[in-house]
Structure 1
Amino acid sequence: MTIKGQARRTVIQRRAFLKTAAIAAAGATTASRSGRAQAATQIQWISTTESAPWQTRPLREAGWRWDTLDLQIADSPTGGPMQGFGGCFNELGWTSIALLSEADREAVFAELFAPGKGASLNLCRMPVGANDFSRGWYSYDETPGDFALEHFSLANDQETLIPFIHAAKQHNPHLRLWASPWSPPSWMKKNGFYAEAVQFPGWPPNGIRPDQVGHEGEDMFLQEDRYFDAYARYFGKFIDGYRAQGIEIETVMPQNEFNSAQPFPSCTWTPEGLARFICHLGPEMQKRGVNVFFGTLERGNPDLLFRTLADPEAARWVRGAGIQWAGKDAIAVIRRQHPELTLYQSEQECGDGKNDWNYATYCWDLMRHYLSDGATGYMYWNISLLPGGVSHWGWPQNSLLTVNPTDRSYHWNHEYYLLKHASHFIQPGARRLDLDGTMEDALAFANPDGSTIVLLRNASSRERAVDLIVHGERISGLMPPDSFNTVQIGAKQN
């Protein structure tokens, strides 16, 4: 026999010798190589393809296949504990879900938020005032020069965001929230206007004048102590007002996408301007037991964060950072240089309103990138929209579900199932596990309950076999063509 033939025979013999889990629809029992029975280990394999979401699959018999991929999962975890997964409570999310029947609304909220049922969302974002998916522009105090904030009011949110969040908390009372503004009240800005750019071609005009246009690298917030002080107290009244409604907000970030002059609510800041404001914001939030994070950072330049942290007074208040869009290119450096900071992926890129499968596969790449590089919170963007997903300012975007206003029906989109493949299984407190082997398109986590979660992406147009080595045991399965897969090994029951 040739050396090549001997090597192949050795591989075949080794694969045959390693015993795998017995096939079962929802689980299997592993056995030791010596044949002595071990305690039963529950194994669940869930797959999603474009045409068949959330399908339970059997394991496969062990045995050599020429195209089998292998994945060795480390026993010891790395990185910080997962904080959770969620979306953003936008006004257009509520106005679309509100069209559903009471029974359908309850089903939607249970599927999104009830622990252990569906997506199990536990960590969500909300705006401070209007954002690009609100019904229109508003702030909580548009009275010019009202430094005493005598006209501060949450009346707008009583119609939308407050009932939206209460409906979610009915199914998850322990839901965690963080918040950021898209724009301060217009009278606190140099241009006296909520936006900083003209509308894109084909979008409805926003009424901005040429002299009101802002630019990246410019502090459009008025850099005076009296404005900083009033704005910090504005945040405080926001926290207090929501607390009076039974809604706790645990973290704030000073500005969404502070480098971006947008045709919808926005405000550009320099890192030094943010540092000056954080020195006022931090003490106000400390009074209320609320954390301050830096962000959100939408550029791939970590120095934008480091320049803010160079101010020692600002740095003492910053507990974490929100990172989105091109900020993904900065997260690895930030994690290495500031491992003490909690990092959130604060907004998954939002698509084009088509909600197609191709974009869902791109979003898997985003998820794997952020979670591999240190994000411990992962936020989807729009929870619900009407068909086409067009905002008040004309931008079509994707959403977890789409509500049809004609017959008041709804359906879950591909990105919902992708998010669920992670959020349903990965528990708060889970820690990432390092991987090795020929199966590179994967993530793995160790849950606090002792279970191991493995996420697998088969981008191939054909079925692929994969062998997982978990705690010395081999688990073999088949990934459908062009699929997302989650394998749960261990204690958690579903």
Structure 2
Amino acid sequence: MSTYFGKGGSNYLYLRVPMGACDFSTRYYSYDDVQGDTEWEHFDLIDNDYQLKVPIIKRASELRGETIKLFATPWSAPWWMKINGTTKGIAHLDEQYYQPWANYFLKYFDAFARQNISFWGVNPQNEPSQGYNYASSIPVMGWSPEAYTEWVANYLGPTLEKGGYGNLKLMILDDNRMWLPNWVNTVLANEKTNNYSSGIAIHWYTDSSSSDVALRQAHEAQPDKFLMYTEACNLVRVTREDLGDWEVGERYANSMLQAFNNWVVGWTDWNMALNEDGGPATFNDNPTIWGYNAAIIVNATGDEFYKQPPYYFQAHYSMFVPPGSVHIQLTYPNPGGLLHVAFLTPENNVVVILYNGNDQDIPTVIIDPERGNISINVEARSINTIVYK
């Protein structure tokens, strides 16, 4: 915990909290699996919430020295509210449950409020393309952009507002950027949904096969909505041989540099930590063949953990670019060489992050007409952060 939130750690401020089971849960659960209980009389958090999530969230705020900003995301409604009666496959919410499902969000936020935990934001659905455009073996609930728009405009938005949670930052999409144009143009074209929405949430999984132009287009179409990356994970089962794999960190570097140079204001990793099997998780009912990588891998039997390259690549931003910083433009005469991004912090510091993904060093001069020049040799396959007044 101190490695992420404590003094000298990576200074994290935002945490994503699953509303019920997700693909890194060891079993499926919702907060009310009693069929037909649309009044949510049996709604309650589970033992893992009371014994783990709540204490961890509070400890993170203590270590950080300020309240951690939480945003909640559901993977699926309770199984009995969906047309196929299961959490997986092609499955969407039965329309008769549109209002009860919105009320479920109130019950969730109220339950955490009783634990003295408040939320900053909410994503109405994790990856709505799963369960709609294609089937999946993890908990999913698919939405078309049109159905999603109707539910947010006429059910979720008004319910949160009437229930005292209208201040939450509601972020639409929460899916890969390949879906950005259609979702932005459809969902935010609705005046009510637009008014209830504060931002657009994006996942990184198709970054290598989709253009970052989509980010700029989303900003230009909706300049009053912030863009935020809300999930990233290296989808390769971790092995002992993978520990310290620099290329995994470089994938993060490329994604973050693309994002922050295209109007994105925040970037969130998926898992804070996983075990040496890339879990715990139960995917496809076969935990022996599934598992992913993470910034920190825990060896529970040895009472130790390993900070992976993604941890350090992300720390270049979380440690040196505080909230309230603004992006400033850099120009570079050789776009095929050095990748870069720069910020001006609230303390009036300039932060320049340079990433060299090539196999050769790149001598570089940072030229600031107002503050002078800085010469640096950016070594091959390295990331560097320069901070100056």
- Aligned AA (2:140): S
Deviates more, 1:398-407 or 1:143-152: 398-407
Q: Secondary structure at the match of 2:25?
A: coil
Could you tell me whether the CA contact under 8 Å between 1:350 and 1:398 is conserved in 2? yes
Partner of 1:195: 88
Q: Which residue of the other structure, out of 272, 293, 301, is the alignment partner of 2:146?
A: 272
Could you tell me whether the CA contact under 8 Å between 1:123 and 1:175 is conserved in 2? yes
Partner of 2:267: 378
- Aligned AA (1:366): S
The yes-or-no answer on 1:300 pairing with 2:178 is yes
The CA distance in 2 between the partners of 1:350 and 1:336, in whole Å, is 30
Count of aligned pairs: 358
The CA distance in 2 between the partners of 1:249 and 1:136, in whole Å, is 25
Deviates more, 1:371-380 or 1:286-295: 286-295
The CA distance in 2 between the partners of 1:284 and 1:303, in whole Å, is 26
Residues 246-269 of structure 1 deviation map (CA, whole Å, 9 limit, x = unaligned): 211121111000001320111111
Deviates more, 1:312-321 or 1:232-241: 312-321
Deviates more, 1:260-269 or 1:286-295: 286-295
Partner of 2:157: 282
The CA distance in 2 between the partners of 1:478 and 1:346, in whole Å, is 33
- Aligned AA (1:280): Y
Between the two proteins, what is the percent identity of the paired residues?
27
The yes-or-no answer on 1:432 pairing with 2:327 is yes
Cα distance change on mapping 1:291 and 1:285 into 2, 3 Å: farther
Partner of 2:27: 136
Gaps of 5+ in 1: 1-108, 197-213
Pairwise CA distance, 1:176: 0.5
Residues 377-435 of structure 1 deviation map (CA, whole Å, 9 limit, x = unaligned): 11011110111313221432111211112211111111000000111000101111111
The yes-or-no answer on 1:181 pairing with 2:74 is yes
Pairwise CA distance, 1:295: 2.0
Counterparts in 2 of 1:390-469, with a 5 A limit? 390=279, 391-393=281-283, 394=287, 395-438=290-333, 440-469=338-367
- Aligned AA (2:311): Y
Q: Which residue of the other structure, out of 225, 231, 238, is the alignment partner of 2:101?
A: 231
- Aligned AA (2:50): Q
The CA distance in 2 between the partners of 1:305 and 1:162, in whole Å, is 34
The yes-or-no answer on 1:333 pairing with 2:195 is no
Partner of 1:40: none
Q: Secondary structure at the match of 2:111?
A: helix
Pairwise CA distance, 1:271: 0.8
- Aligned AA (1:304): W
Could you tell me whether the CA contact under 8 Å between 2:366 and 2:375 is conserved in 1? yes
Partner of 2:42: 151
Pairwise CA distance, 1:313: 2.3
Could you tell me whether the CA contact under 8 Å between 1:350 and 1:381 is conserved in 2? no
Could you tell me whether the CA contact under 8 Å between 1:142 and 1:187 is conserved in 2? yes
Could you tell me whether the CA contact under 8 Å between 1:119 and 1:423 is conserved in 2? yes
Residues 91-150 of structure 1 deviation map (CA, whole Å, 9 limit, x = unaligned): xxxxxxxxxxxxxxxxxx122113x62210011211111111112111011111111000
- Aligned AA (1:128): M
The yes-or-no answer on 1:170 pairing with 2:44 is no
Greater Cα radius of gyration, structure 1 or 2: 1
Partner of 2:4: 112
TM-score (norm 1): 0.70
Partner of 2:276: 387
Cα distance change on mapping 1:132 and 1:162 into 2, 3 Å: same
Pairwise CA distance, 1:472: 4.1
The yes-or-no answer on 1:241 pairing with 2:111 is yes
Cα distance change on mapping 1:322 and 1:260 into 2, 3 Å: same
Cα distance change on mapping 1:259 and 1:299 into 2, 3 Å: farther
Partner of 2:122: 252
Residues 51-87 of structure 1 deviation map (CA, whole Å, 9 limit, x = unaligned): xxxxxxxxxxxxxxxxxxxxxxxxxxxxxxxxxxxxx
- Aligned AA (2:109): I
Gaps of 5+ in 2: none
Counterparts in 2 of 1:78-93, with a 5 A limit? none
Could you tell me whether the CA contact under 8 Å between 2:252 and 2:314 is conserved in 1? no
The CA distance in 2 between the partners of 1:437 and 1:269, in whole Å, is 42
Partner of 2:228: 344
Structure of higher RCO (CA pairs closer than 8 Å, 6+ residues apart): 1
The CA distance in 2 between the partners of 1:282 and 1:242, in whole Å, is 19
Could you tell me whether the CA contact under 8 Å between 1:384 and 1:401 is conserved in 2? yes
Pairwise CA distance, 1:360: 1.2
Could you tell me whether the CA contact under 8 Å between 1:259 and 1:299 is conserved in 2? no
Cα distance change on mapping 1:281 and 1:113 into 2, 3 Å: same
The CA distance in 2 between the partners of 1:370 and 1:255, in whole Å, is 22
- Aligned AA (1:423): S
The CA distance in 2 between the partners of 1:387 and 1:160, in whole Å, is 20
The yes-or-no answer on 1:161 pairing with 2:40 is no
Counterparts in 2 of 1:55-74, with a 5 A limit? none
Q: Secondary structure at the match of 2:264?
A: coil
Could you tell me whether the CA contact under 8 Å between 1:189 and 1:221 is conserved in 2? yes
Pairwise CA distance, 1:187: 1.1
Pairwise CA distance, 1:349: 3.6
TM-score (norm 2): 0.88
The CA distance in 1 between the partners of 2:358 and 2:23, in whole Å, is 37
The CA distance in 2 between the partners of 1:137 and 1:437, in whole Å, is 50
RMSD over aligned Cα atoms: 1.7
- Aligned AA (2:226): T
Partner of 2:194: 315
